């Protein structure tokens, strides 16, 4: 049933094109392309018969142009950078972005369109797919052929292999944790890809019903949760926001990010952008330390791909121990202070 749900109706329009030309919908911040968008380029590169990868950037002002220069040299597989410079794209509203993707598709005739599976991608891609009259495939974690993809189902408890048989373009969101960007790739200097402006003369002025109101974010010296090498996470067992500061101290000591379970977020210990799991962030750091986290399937869905998982829980039967590489049955109120004392400063 699941497979047939992905067997899209128009069998007659199955792509027979041998070459894959891909458009990557990219986000930028502070004059640089965001890491999840570079992961989408890595994913696009895994099509065996890839012909070209175009990166679409939009926004306005000097930071857009800095980001375009960064995009032109940030990955050797990018063959061109398309820049849409307009105030309409100053904020990440899905309606104008979806129309922009539609416009880019009309002139580029891409076989595939990719975006990272984050809140931006999840917002834009379904609308763009609707305008293009195709069905998107979301949360792709593996690409075996140009139209065959692996994606998790049942909160990550099973993997489904789906084949796209619809019309072009095949539009996907990819999990950036499954397509890591090697530091070597980012650090190297490559030949600059050409940068071209998107012709917006035919862009539909009607921007839809959404209006941008404001954006608030917490300034933090810590690495972004989605890309951090180390994550220290706490659960309901921390009991209060005050106690949760122990988790923050440990993360600071390790130079890592802070994560939390939904129970900890719902209890108000930390803001919801720290939630890891099915309805939070998906992370796959080198080290994930979980303190007082039971290991509910919805939490595991967001962190089970971490390279090394360390769990501290006072219940020896807690499900988190089934995925942990190192487990300690103990009281976090004793273990964390001891770790803080014994770990060297970073
Ligand atoms: P609990 O399950 O209460 O576990 C607390 C753990 O702490 C226990 O194992 C206990 O033994 C241990 N403990 C207690 N005291 C100590 C101590 N002193 N020292 C050491 N250990 C101690 N959850 C998420 O995390 N992320 C999601 O994205 C998410 N999405 C959801 C989506 C849906 C649709 C639903 C229905 C649920 C979702 N949940 C999600 C909630 C999830 O089912 C769990 O309720 C939640 O993960 C439990 O959080 P917890 O482990 O902090 O709390």
Q: Report the nearest-CA residue for atom 18 of ligand 1.
A: 331
Q: Is 211 annotated as a binding residue?
A: no
Quote the tokens at residue 297: 């399937």
* Atom of ligand 1 lying closest to residue 264 CA: 52
Q: What is the pLDDT of residues 232-255, one digit of tens each?
A: 999 999 999 999 999 999 999 999
* Closest residue to atom 4 of ligand 1, CA basis: 294
pTM: 0.82
206-222 pLDDT, tens digit per residue, is 777 888 898 877 777 88
| Closest protein CA for atom 53 of ligand 1 | 236
Query: Quick check: CB of 281 below 6 Å from ligand 1?
Result: no
The band of 13, judged by pLDDT with boundaries at 50, 70 and 90, is: very low
Q: Does the beta carbon of 279 sit less than 6 angstroms from any atom of ligand 1?
A: yes
**pLDDT value at 191 more than 50:** yes
pLDDT for 157 beyond 50: yes
Residue 40 clears pLDDT 50, i.e. is over it? yes
Confirm whether residue 231 is marked as ligand binding: no
Which protein residue's CA is at the shortest distance from atom 9 of ligand 1?
294
Q: Which of 21-35, 173-187, 307-321, 329-343 has the lowest mean pLDDT?
A: 173-187
- pLDDT of 182 strictly over 60: yes
Average pLDDT of the chain to the nearest whole number? 89
Question: How far away, in angstroms, is 206 Cα from ligand 1 center?
Answer: 44
State in Å: Cα 28 to ligand 1 middle: 34
Q: Is the CB of 266 under 6 A from ligand 1?
A: no
Q: What is the pLDDT of residues 101-115, one digit of tens each?
A: 999 999 999 999 999
**pLDDT surpassing 50 at residue 14:** no
Mutate to test the pocket of ligand 1, among 292, 316, 333 (most ligand atoms within 8 A of CB): 292
Q: Look at residues 23, 51, 25 and name the one whose alpha carbon lies nearest to residue 36.
A: 25
pLDDT, tens digit, 9 for 90 and up, residues 41-73: 999 998 866 679 999 999 999 999 999 999 999
Percent of the chain exceeding pLDDT 70 equals 91
Nearest-CA residue for atom 22 of ligand 1 = 292
Mean predicted confidence (pLDDT) in 288-297? 97
Evaluate: CB of 22 within 6 angstroms of ligand 1.
no
Of 160-174, 195-209, 316-330, the least confident: 195-209
């Amino acid at each position: 049933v699941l497979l047939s749900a992905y067997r899209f109706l128009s069998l007659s329009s199955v792509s027979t094109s041998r070459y894959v030309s891909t458009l990557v919908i990219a986000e930028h911040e502070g004059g640089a392309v965001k890491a999840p968008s570079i992961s989408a380029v890595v994913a696009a590169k895994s099509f065996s018969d890839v012909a070209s990868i175009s990166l679409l950037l939009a926004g306005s002002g000097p930071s857009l142009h800095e980001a375009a220069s960064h995009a032109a040299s940030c990955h050797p597989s990018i063959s061109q950078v398309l820049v849409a410079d307009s105030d309409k794209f100053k904020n990440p509203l899905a309606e104008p972005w979806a129309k922009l993707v539609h416009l880019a598709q009309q002139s580029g005739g891409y076989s595939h369109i990719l975006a990272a599976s984050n809140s931006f991608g999840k917002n834009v891609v379904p609308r763009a797919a609707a305008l293009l009259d195709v069905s998107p495939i979301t949360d792709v974690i593996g690409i075996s052929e140009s139209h065959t993809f692996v994606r998790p189902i049942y909160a990550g408890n099973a993997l489904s292999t789906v084949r796209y048989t619809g019309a072009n373009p095949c539009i996907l969101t990819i999990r950036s944790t499954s397509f890591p960007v090697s530091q070597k790739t980012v650090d190297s200097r490559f030949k600059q890809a050409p940068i071209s402006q998107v012709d917006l003369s035919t862009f539909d002025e009607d921007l839809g019903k959404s209006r941008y109101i404001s954006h608030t974010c917490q300034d933090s010296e810590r690495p972004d949760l989605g890309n951090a090498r180390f994550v220290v996470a706490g659960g309901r067992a921390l009991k209060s926001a005050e106690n949760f500061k122990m988790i923050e101290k440990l993360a600071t000591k390790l130079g890592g990010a802070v994560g939390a379970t939904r129970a900890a977020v719902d209890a108000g210990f930390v803001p919801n952008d720290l939630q890891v799991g099915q309805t939070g962030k998906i992370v796959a750091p080198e080290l994930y330390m979980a303190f007082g986290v039971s290991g509910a399937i919805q939490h595991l869905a967001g962190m089970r791909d971490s390279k090394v998982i360390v769990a501290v829980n006072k219940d020896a039967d807690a499900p988190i121990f089934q995925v942990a590489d190192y487990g300690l049955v103990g009281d976090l109120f004793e273990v964390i202070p001891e770790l803080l004392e014994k770990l060297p400063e970073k």
